[in-house]
């Protein structure tokens, strides 16, 4: 391929709507173009990158006995109604009707389709275990697409589904898949991807892990222990709190607090630490807008995923209106109408005393609250978010660090949620009917490409790992108007093509600076620079995009030299 | 892969809803499963077939300088409004709104997306010509999906778009693509695919060809000359008629014809041939339901595509109601209110006389009609369908045969329809702004797979060509309970895998009949049969699915023997 034939063009200016580097570089580098909010077309370089990623994934899935299949993008709503997800998933599931007014959905995930495909042909235990997977376009109608390929509405995903006759067998295979995922990320050039425990969310099931690339631009917050190997998604991380109850109990006392509406303000006003306050966080249930009041220690925040999981239904931030019985900024446990509201207490309040809190009347707070004395026996539930410097649930030290990360893959143990609701059964070895146990395993292909770019780039462009680079080597003919320079470059290009090397050739008659800018944006791992000055010495310059190699190589040795770099780097990535 | 691990199951009974062989065999063979009307999931064997077809297409597209890109499945309606197709295409274009009430469509073709992708980056003539293509899921909300993968709603298609600075350059590239298509079909195992001229339909443009596999189950009718190389889709075929005008002119005469409503009946009644009648075929315009009356010789039919193209708008069969001014069965040219209706005359009536026709009053016809005398000067337009035994537009002989065919691909010259409407321009070498001229080139991947099956199967299953077979060779271990038989089979399997051969292994402990039935349904080109009886002679049986080879081969030579068959057949297919 010659660069001047590439349809996508490269340019210098950073597009104003790009908030992350990978997005800006992939727009500037002629990798992709926006078609609608969160929907992109890919030019050839990105298509080649994603195909290489897909092939790595395919090889690793086949190596663990995956059978590649294909589910439809457009599915009948009926199978989503079988599992209840047609109603339980929000507007990110795109629903429409076809020309015959049959309700349909666009596939954002394919658990239903997977069970539909196999439920009639795995009726006996001898067919198990098996894993099917596809690499296919998906659509998720995100409210806020952002950051280029990191969060889009239409995306290509590898999704795999395994079926087992026992939890033990799923556990075994889950570990196999866990390792395969680590190999995939290592081969794609991001061995630094870590796994964290996660919440299973809309997929159901219990055990699940996310594969995270740590980066400040990540959308997820992770709790990682500095001292042991504990790591978890913020949403899944257990929050352990040491509750202090020092000194004498003070009595409950009503205090006039005109104009004070936040827990920080009341603590400042009283000269007490946040840890000695009881904050109210108010939600409303999506279903009926009834209020949920969560009481939590003033220095902590509510983990809404834990709250949703506990309630078994979705909530949104509460809107306190006149006459609803709650007073914004003055809500507290004492005197609150527990018949009218769902009232929950976080574990951070268990065994504490001398708390300040709202008084359920305008412009007043209480001090000296002791829940066990003033309210009585209440249930304490874990609803708090883990904090920076918090206690590691595994090693018990105050060593939790919070980091940002991009989720590049995830694996879930689904249990029998889908097989039960869709009536998939098998006869076990003793002739009893059972529901198979499922696992599911996803990787977003485009997001992985963008994540690799995010992890490996400089100010001038991506630094693609050899395994997924659109081409392995680029020839830069610095003086296309010089006969010898062009002759040598042309011959190198033809020889490399004849050798089936993945080569791209820049033979445009442009300034070296412009040529190198374009080369940086394409991020090809190896660059061969042919210039009259070098030819005077009988050499070419061979440099790598990551600057680790920069050598003058005799003309006759260039191809072997480049091939060795390519082979070494591929070997290194493939372990 | 071992057959007993394949998720899809094979069965004997022909499904009642399958009207064509390829559909029935691909359901019975565990290739695919219906998810909704015209929407299927693929099991592993079909996925492998379509991947191989995709790779053949990809190689041939790359060989003619195609750049693989990817457009979205979900597109904003806005770009379809730019070209007017959002309004002009019927309900096969699936329209919906996203969560923000933005109108969107599911891509059924991607001309708009192609122009959107390149319109900002090909502003000067030096960037031309170029071709971009994708292989991607499409959705067309067909009214009547049928015949399995032959006519579906969701399908995978390769669609390519080329851009040129002159008609000459498009003509040149169109020929290049024409040849590439022939190579693709030959390599996929259907060199018998023929090309026919076609109508461009909703794509616009003039020159276009369809690639047709002749088969009685085809949905299209083709006009093929027995004497020269002329072939055309029925819709595009020119209809040449020899009009006779023998004998004396007779006068126009009103005849009472009670109870006679068809042109056949009136000719029988009058003892005249159909060629001496003037039939009225009544349509209504979709836009306003106004009537269009087409007069045509009684033995011919109206080609509705030609009619639509002439009118520039869509029509549907007319419904004649009381008081509309038309009399069903009695409509004729004489006395018809030409102000009220659109009245068209087919070329088959030009220069004729002594015609019988309707009299525009109930229960009456005229005889002796001579249009030039009784009606006056009218324009005669070509609106007739070509007939079996009709005149070849190329060689002029009465040698037209009508055949049925499946369209497996098409190529179109689009002209500037899309670049003009979407405002894509370039500066030519003289500094003038021009609109690029486009070509587009499609192949349905799944339909091609089904067509190959349709062309190459027997009562027992598909006979896959080596190039697209899901696996190249199948080992049948006829007695899995016999230690030697299993040992030899296992070793063959392991050796073939180690040799990176595409092998599938049936080591189930089942009857030979059941094993061979499954093997027939999988249609693997080469079968190696290991049985105790053969082992007694130190041989295996090697047979091909097409029965051309059936040999006993010494054990030590089996792998080389099989590899030679595979290589020979691939070489033959690849030309």
Provide the CA B130 distance to its chain's centre, in angstroms: 26
Put simply, the answer to whether A94 touches B94 (Cβ < 8 Å) is no
Per-residue model confidence (pLDDT) at position A200: 55
On chain A, the residues whose CB falls within 8 A of the CB of B136 are 137
Q: What tens digit of pLDDT does each residue of B174-223 get?
A: 999 999 999 999 999 999 898 888 765 544 456 789 999 998 888 888 88
Per-residue model confidence (pLDDT) at position A321: 87
B253-381 CATH fold: YbaK protein (3.90.960)
B547 φ, ψ to 5°? 70, 10
Helix (H, G, I), strand (E, B) or coil at B138: strand
Put simply, the answer to whether B69 touches A7 (Cβ < 8 Å) is yes
Put simply, the answer to whether A116 touches B39 (Cβ < 8 Å) is no
**What 8-state DSSP symbol labels residue A330?**
-
Per-residue model confidence (pLDDT) at position B244: 76
Which tokens sit at B294?
């087409």
Per-residue model confidence (pLDDT) at position B202: 47
| CA atoms of B549 and B565, how far apart (whole Å) | 9
| CA atoms of A326 and B196, how far apart (whole Å) | 77
| CA atoms of B95 and A78, how far apart (whole Å) | 20
Closest residue by Cα to residue A493 from A531, A530, A464: A530
| CA atoms of B308 and B296, how far apart (whole Å) | 16
Per-residue model confidence (pLDDT) at position A201: 53
Peptide bond just before A129 cis, omega within 30 deg: yes
For chain B, what is the total number of helices (H) and then of strands (E)?
A: 15, 31
The mean per-residue pLDDT over the stretch A514-533 comes to: 97
On chain B, the residues whose CB falls within 8 A of the CB of A143 are 99
Per-residue model confidence (pLDDT) at position B324: 85
Distances (CA, A) of A254 to A70, A117, A263, A326, A403: 66, 65, 16, 17, 41
Do residues A452 and A46 touch, judged by C-beta distance below 8 A?
no
| CA atoms of A361 and A258, how far apart (whole Å) | 11
Alpha helix segments (H runs only) across A400-482: 417-421, 445-455
On chain B, the residues whose CB falls within 8 A of the CB of A43 are 67, 69, 117
The closest CB to that of A35, out of B7, B36, B116, belongs to: B116
Do residues B404 and B218 touch, judged by C-beta distance below 8 A?
yes
| CA atoms of B448 and B55, how far apart (whole Å) | 13
Do residues B478 and B484 touch, judged by C-beta distance below 8 A?
no
Distances (CA, A) of A452 to A190, A490, A513, B510: 6, 32, 26, 50
Following DSSP, what letter does each residue of B61-105 receive, concatenated?
A: HHHTTEEE-B--SEEEHHHHHHTTHHHHS-TTS-EEE-TT--EEE
Cβ-proximal residues to B487 (8 Å cutoff; 6+ apart), any chain = none
Closest residue by Cα to residue A440 from A419, A414, A422: A414
Put simply, the answer to whether A39 touches B68 (Cβ < 8 Å) is no
pLDDT band at A205 (very low <50, low <70, confident <90, very high): low
In chain B, the residue whose alpha carbon lies closest to the alpha carbon of A67 is: B44
Q: What is the CATH number of domain B3-238+402-454?
A: 3.30.930.10
pLDDT band at A261 (very low <50, low <70, confident <90, very high): confident
Count of A–B CB contacts within 8 Å?
Answer: 167
Cβ-proximal residues to B53 (8 Å cutoff; 6+ apart), any chain = B188, B445, B448, B449, B468
CA distance B269 to chain A (A): 45
On chain B, the residues whose CB falls within 8 A of the CB of A50 are 70
Cβ-proximal residues to A483 (8 Å cutoff; 6+ apart), any chain = none
Put simply, the answer to whether A69 touches B99 (Cβ < 8 Å) is no
Alpha helix segments (H runs only) across B215-262: none
On chain A, the residues whose CB falls within 8 A of the CB of B70 are 41-42, 47, 50
CA distance A8 to chain B (A): 6
DSSP lists the bridge partners of residue A154 as A139
Closest residue by Cα to residue B421 from B123, B181, B162, B112: B112
Per-residue model confidence (pLDDT) at position B506: 97
CA distance A295 to chain B (A): 34
CA distance A30 to chain B (A): 10
In chain A, the residue whose alpha carbon lies closest to the alpha carbon of B6 is: A67
Following DSSP, what letter does each residue of A120-175 receive, concatenated?
A: TS--BGGG-SEEEEEEEEEE---SS-BTGGGB-SEEEEEEEEEEESSHHHHHHHHH
Query: Would you tell me how many other CB atoms lie within 10 Å of the CB of residue A424?
Result: 21
CA angle, B452 then B230 then B304, to 5°: 85
In this structure, what is the dihedral angle of CA atoms A208, A213, A215, A219, given to the nearest 10 degrees? Answer: -40
> Which of the residues B45, B70, B505 would you substitute to probe the A interface, choosing the one with the greatest number of A C-beta atoms within 10 Å?
B70
Mean pLDDT of chain A: 92
Which tokens sit at A172?
């075994």
Check residue A293 and give left, alpha or beta (phi > 0: left; psi -120 to 50: alpha): beta
> Which of the residues B11, B32, B36 would you substitute to probe the A interface, choosing the one with the greatest number of A C-beta atoms within 10 Å?
B36
Which tokens sit at B234?
């029925």
The closest CB to that of B71, out of A41, A69, A70, belongs to: A41
Give the DSSP H or E segment for A213: strand A208-214
Put simply, the answer to whether A30 touches B121 (Cβ < 8 Å) is yes
CA distance A407 to chain B (A): 23
DSSP lists the bridge partners of residue B104 as B76, B96
> Which of the residues B27, B73, B127 would you substitute to probe the A interface, choosing the one with the greatest number of A C-beta atoms within 10 Å?
B73
CA distance B76 to chain A (A): 6
On chain A, the residues whose CB falls within 8 A of the CB of B117 are 7, 33, 41, 43
Put simply, the answer to whether A42 touches B70 (Cβ < 8 Å) is yes
Question: B103: number of CA atoms within 13 Å, CB side?
Answer: 10
CA distance B43 to chain A (A): 5
| CA atoms of A457 and B301, how far apart (whole Å) | 66
Closest residue by Cα to residue A441 from A134, A33, A74: A134
| CA atoms of B562 and B547, how far apart (whole Å) | 14
Closest residue by Cα to residue B203 from B408, B442, B412, B407: B412
Composition of chain A by helix, strand, coil, percent to 5: 30, 30, 40
Put simply, the answer to whether B143 touches A43 (Cβ < 8 Å) is no
% of chain A with per-residue pLDDT over 70: 99
CA distance A141 to chain B (A): 7
Do residues A164 and A129 touch, judged by C-beta distance below 8 A?
yes
The answer on pLDDT for A19 being more than 90 is: no
A223 φ, ψ to 5°? -105, 115
**What 8-state DSSP symbol labels residue B319?**
-
Put simply, the answer to whether A74 touches B99 (Cβ < 8 Å) is no
Put simply, the answer to whether A9 touches B121 (Cβ < 8 Å) is yes
Cβ-proximal residues to B316 (8 Å cutoff; 6+ apart), any chain = B283, B284, B286
On chain B, the residues whose CB falls within 8 A of the CB of A80 are none
B522 φ, ψ to 5°? -80, -25
On chain A, the residues whose CB falls within 8 A of the CB of B126 are 4
Do residues A520 and A544 touch, judged by C-beta distance below 8 A?
no
Query: Would you tell me how many other CB atoms lie within 10 Å of the CB of residue A301?
Result: 16
Put simply, the answer to whether B99 touches A118 (Cβ < 8 Å) is no
Helix (H, G, I), strand (E, B) or coil at A560: helix
CATH topology match: B253-381 vs B471-574: no
The closest CB to that of B137, out of A37, A69, A137, belongs to: A137
Put simply, the answer to whether A7 touches B122 (Cβ < 8 Å) is yes
Give the residue extent of every domain in chain A.
14-72+107-225+404-454, 253-381, 471-574
Do residues A198 and A235 touch, judged by C-beta distance below 8 A?
yes
B48 φ, ψ to 5°? -70, -40
Say which residue the tokens 């019975």 belong to.
Answer: B28
On chain A, the residues whose CB falls within 8 A of the CB of B36 are 72, 74-76, 78, 102, 104
Q: What tens digit of pLDDT does each residue of B107-147 get?
A: 999 999 999 999 999 999 999 999 999 999 999 998 888 88
Q: What tens digit of pLDDT does each residue of A144-197 get?
A: 888 888 889 999 999 999 999 999 999 999 999 999 999 999 999 999 998 888
> Is the four-CA dihedral B323, B329, B333, B335 of positive or negative sign?
negative
Distances (CA, A) of A172 to A166, A183, A225, A439: 10, 17, 26, 11
In this structure, what is the dihedral angle of CA atoms B431, B433, B434, B435, given to the nearest 10 degrees? Answer: 140
**What 8-state DSSP symbol labels residue A497?**
H
Say which residue the tokens 């197709």 belong to.
Answer: B85
On chain A, the residues whose CB falls within 8 A of the CB of B99 are 91-92, 94, 141, 143
On chain B, the residues whose CB falls within 8 A of the CB of A49 are none
Q: Which CATH superfamily is domain A14-72+107-225+404-454 in?
A: Bira Bifunctional Protein; Domain 2 (3.30.930.10)
Put simply, the answer to whether A36 touches B102 (Cβ < 8 Å) is yes
- The CATH class of A471-574 is alpha beta
The closest CB to that of B69, out of A42, A136, A154, belongs to: A42
DSSP lists the bridge partners of residue A511 as none
**Do β-strands A342-346 and A380-381 pair in parallel, antiparallel, or remain unpaired?**
parallel
On chain A, the residues whose CB falls within 8 A of the CB of B73 are 73, 137, 139, 154
The closest CB to that of B41, out of A42, A72, A122, belongs to: A72
Put simply, the answer to whether A141 touches B98 (Cβ < 8 Å) is yes
**Do β-strands A39-42 and A32-36 pair in parallel, antiparallel, or remain unpaired?**
antiparallel
Helix (H, G, I), strand (E, B) or coil at B451: helix
On chain B, the residues whose CB falls within 8 A of the CB of A115 are none
pLDDT in single tens digits along all 575 residues of chain B: 999 999 999 999 888 888 899 999 999 999 999 999 999 999 999 999 999 999 999 999 999 999 999 999 999 999 999 999 998 888 899 999 999 999 999 999 999 999 999 999 999 999 999 999 999 999 999 888 888 888 899 999 999 999 999 999 999 999 999 999 999 999 999 998 988 887 655 444 567 899 999 988 888 888 888 888 888 888 888 888 887 778 888 999 998 888 888 888 888 888 888 889 999 999 999 889 899 999 999 999 999 988 998 998 889 999 988 888 888 888 999 988 888 899 999 999 998 999 999 999 888 999 999 998 998 899 999 999 998 888 988 888 999 999 999 999 999 999 999 999 999 999 999 999 999 999 999 999 999 999 999 999 999 999 999 999 999 999 999 999 999 999 999 999 999 999 999 999 999 999 999 999 999 999 999 999 999 999 999 999 999 999 999 999 999 999 999 999 999 999 999 88
The closest CB to that of B73, out of A92, A126, A137, belongs to: A137
Per-residue model confidence (pLDDT) at position B150: 85
% of chain A with per-residue pLDDT over 90: 71
CA distance A119 to chain B (A): 10
> Which of the residues A15, A35, A58 would you substitute to probe the B interface, choosing the one with the greatest number of B C-beta atoms within 10 Å?
A35
Put simply, the answer to whether B143 touches A96 (Cβ < 8 Å) is no
The closest CB to that of B69, out of A44, A73, A137, belongs to: A44
Question: Helix A167-187 crosses helix A558-574 at what angle (to 10 degrees)?
Answer: 160
Question: B483: number of CA atoms within 13 Å, CB side?
Answer: 0
Burial class (CB in 10 A: 0-12, 13-18, 19+), B18: middle
Per-residue model confidence (pLDDT) at position B91: 87
């Amino acid at each position: 391929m010659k660069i001047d034939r590439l349809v996508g063009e490269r340019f210098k200016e950073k597009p104003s709507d790009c908030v992350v580097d990978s997005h800006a570089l992939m727009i500037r580098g002629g990798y992709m173009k926006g078609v609608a909010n969160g929907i992109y077309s890919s030019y050839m370089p990105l298509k080649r990158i994603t195909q290489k990623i897909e092939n790595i994934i395919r090889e690793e899935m086949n190596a663990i006995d995956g059978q590649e299949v294909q589910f439809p993008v457009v599915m009948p709503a009926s199978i989503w109604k079988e599992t209840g997800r047609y109603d339980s998933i929000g507007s990110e599931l795109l629903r429409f009707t076809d020309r015959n007014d049959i309700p349909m959905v666009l596939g954002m995930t394919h658990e239903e389709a997977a069970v539909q495909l196999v439920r009639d042909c795995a009726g006996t235990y001898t067919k198990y275990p098996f894993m099917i997977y596809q690499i296919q376009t998906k659509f998720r109608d995100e409210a806020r697409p952002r950051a280029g390929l990191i969060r889009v509405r239409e995306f290509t995903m590898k999704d795999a589904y395994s079926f087992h006759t026992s939890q033990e067998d799923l556990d075994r295979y889950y570990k196999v898949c866990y390792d395969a995922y680590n190999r995939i990320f290592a081969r794609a050039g991001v061995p630094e991807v870590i796994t964290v425990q996660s919440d299973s969310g809309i997929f159901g099931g219990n055990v699940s892990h996310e594969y995270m690339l740590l980066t400040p631009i990540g959308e997820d917050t992770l709790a990682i222990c500095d001292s042991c190997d504990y790591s978890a998604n913020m949403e899944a991380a257990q929050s352990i709190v040491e509750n202090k109850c020092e000194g004498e109990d003070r009595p409950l006392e009503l205090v006039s607090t005109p104009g004070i509406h936040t827990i920080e303000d009341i603590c400042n006003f009283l000269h007490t630490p946040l840890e000695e306050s009881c904050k109210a966080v108010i939600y409303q249930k999506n279903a009926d807008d009834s209020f949920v009041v969560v009481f939590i220690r003033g220095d902590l925040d509510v983990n809404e995923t834990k709250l949703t999981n506990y309630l078994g239904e979705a909530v949104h931030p509460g809107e306190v209106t006149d006459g609803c019985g709650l007073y914004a900024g003055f809500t507290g446990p004492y005197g609150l109408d527990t018949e009218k509201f769902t009232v929950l207490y976080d574990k951070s309040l268990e065994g504490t005393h001398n708390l300040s809190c709202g008084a359920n009347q305008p412009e007043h707070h209480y001090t000296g609250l002791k829940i066990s004395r003033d309210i009585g026996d209440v249930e304490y539930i874990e609803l708090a978010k883990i904090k920076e410097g918090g206690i590691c649930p595994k090693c018990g030290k105050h060593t939790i660090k919070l980091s940002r990360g991009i989720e590049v893959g995830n694996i879930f143990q689904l249990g029998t949620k889908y097989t039960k609701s869709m009536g998939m059964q098998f006869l076990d070895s003793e002739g009893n009917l059972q529901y198979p146990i499922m696992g599911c395993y996803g990787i977003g292909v485009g997001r992985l490409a963008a994540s690799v770019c995010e992890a490996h780039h400089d100010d001038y462009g991506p630094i693609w790992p050899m395994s997924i680079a659109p081409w392995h080597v680029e020839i830069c003919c610095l003086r296309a108007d010089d006969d010898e320079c062009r002759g040598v470059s042309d011959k190198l290009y033809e020889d490399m093509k004849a050798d089936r090397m993945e080569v791209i050739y820049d033979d445009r008659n442009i300034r070296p600076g412009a040529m190198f800018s374009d080369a940086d944006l394409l991020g090809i791992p190896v660059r061969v620079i042919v210039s009259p000055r070098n030819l005077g010495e009988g050499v070419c310059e061979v440099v790598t995009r990551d600057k680790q190699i920069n050598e003058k190589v005799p003309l006759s040795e260039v191809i072997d030299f480049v091939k060795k770099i390519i082979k070494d780097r591929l070997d290194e990535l493939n372990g």
